[in-house]
């Protein structure tokens, strides 16, 4: 298995149906791969891993248990199915995808602990939790919460959850980091992008990295995959960061 450190920028795989796209991303430098049962592409990700000429131990692979499989035994069974689809003996990180439907902390979370003890998963994560739900999960779990995955971008900055992650030493993983393209319409990001000879998407990703989050952008284009990964080389000034942090608009894309 890989190390405990999450790479600065990962690969979101929702909507990717071609294993070659996964393999190409790995070979250009992506090491953190994020999938989920509900994406129905764990086999695609697994085949991409198999196609890429990169040792498994260099990759950090995460998947998520969907809301209809969060009863104790269903967590175990669905995770075994996920591992089979991925073609892996274990994953580095397993998330509760959303605390809805069959989620019950006292039922769900001990199953995650059990999978960790069996070395079928290395780390436990949660996704789309409130601060109160995080507190409850920490009380129930034996394992620490390694990562909390949430919607986060310049129009939805998640200050409370970022503070919670910093306080507890949890990785905050940001999905939809470029706000489904809406960052291209933000004049503040356009001005910063021009200064750094970058795109607005790259600035959004660099801002997330600077704040301590781990963005997981997705793309169907090799050119955009390269651009996204290159965002880790952009050094924003304190003024840039403050400008983005003071954008007087908020838009949440997912409920």
| Digit-coded pLDDT (tens) for 162-209 | 999 999 999 999 999 999 999 999 999 999 999 999 999 999 999 999
List all residues 6 or more positions away from 123 whose beta carbon is below 8 Å from its beta carbon.
4, 92, 93, 94, 116, 143, 146, 147
Q: In which band, very low, low, confident or very high, does the pLDDT at 148 lie, cut at 50, 70 and 90? A: very high
| Digit-coded pLDDT (tens) for 69-110 | 999 999 999 999 999 999 999 999 999 999 999 999 999 999
Whether 175 is catalytic: no
| pLDDT, position 167 | 96
Return the structure tokens found at 181.
């393209």
Return the structure tokens found at 69.
């499989």
Return the structure tokens found at 131.
């601060």
Q: In which band, very low, low, confident or very high, does the pLDDT at 1 lie, cut at 50, 70 and 90? A: very low
Q: Is the pLDDT of residue 131 over 60?
A: yes
- 130-154 mean pLDDT: 98
pTM of the model: 0.96
Four-way CATH pick for 11-180+213-219: 3.40.50.2300, 3.40.50.10800, 3.20.20.100, 3.40.980.10: 3.20.20.100
Catalytic residue among 39, 95, 103, 175: 39
User: Rounded to an integer, what is the distance from CA 39 to the centroid of its chain?
Assistant: 13
Q: In which band, very low, low, confident or very high, does the pLDDT at 2 lie, cut at 50, 70 and 90? A: very low
Q: What is the mean pLDDT of the chain?
A: 96
| pLDDT, position 5 | 80
Q: Which residue bears the tokens 């034996």? A: 142
Return the structure tokens found at 215.
């963005």
Residues 162 and 75: their CA atoms lie apart, in Å, by 27
Ranges of each domain in the chain = 11-180+213-219
Q: In which band, very low, low, confident or very high, does the pLDDT at 255 lie, cut at 50, 70 and 90? A: confident
Return the structure tokens found at 134.
């995080």
Q: Residue 239 CB: number of other CB atoms within 10 A? A: 10
Return the structure tokens found at 19.
């294993």
Return the structure tokens found at 194.
């021009």
């Amino acid at each position: 298995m890989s190390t405990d450190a999450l790479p600065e920028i990962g690969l979101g795989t929702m909507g990717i149906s071609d294993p070659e796209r996964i393999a190409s991303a790995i070979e250009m430098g992506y090491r953190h791969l994020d999938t989920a049962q509900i994406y129905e592409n764990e086999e695609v990700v697994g085949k991409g891993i198999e196609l890429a000429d990169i040792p498994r131990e260099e990759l950090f692979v995460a998947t998520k248990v969907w809301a209809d499989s969060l009863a104790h035994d269903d967590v175990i069974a669905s995770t075994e199915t996920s591992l089979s689809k991925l073609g892996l003996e274990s994953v580095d990180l397993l998330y509760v995808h959303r605390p809805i439907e069959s989620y019950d902390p006292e039922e769900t979370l001990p199953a995650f602990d059990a999978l960790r003890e069996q070395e079928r998963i290395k780390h436990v994560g949660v996704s789309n939790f409130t601060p109160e739900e995080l507190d409850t999960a920490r009380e129930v779990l034996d394992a620490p919460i390694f990562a909390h995955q949430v919607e986060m971008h310049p129009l939805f900055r998640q200050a409370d959850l970022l503070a919670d992650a910093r306080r507890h030493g949890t990785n905050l993983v940001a999905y939809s980091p470029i706000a489904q393209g809406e960052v291209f319409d933000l004049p503040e990001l356009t001005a910063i992008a021009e200064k750094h000879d970058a795109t607005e998407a790259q600035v959004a990703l660099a801002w997330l990295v600077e704040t301590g989050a781990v963005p997981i952008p997705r793309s169907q284009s090799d050119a955009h995959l390269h651009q996204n990964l290159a965002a880790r080389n952009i050094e924003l000034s304190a003024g840039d960061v403050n400008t983005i942090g003071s954008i007087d608009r908020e838009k949440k894309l997912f409920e």
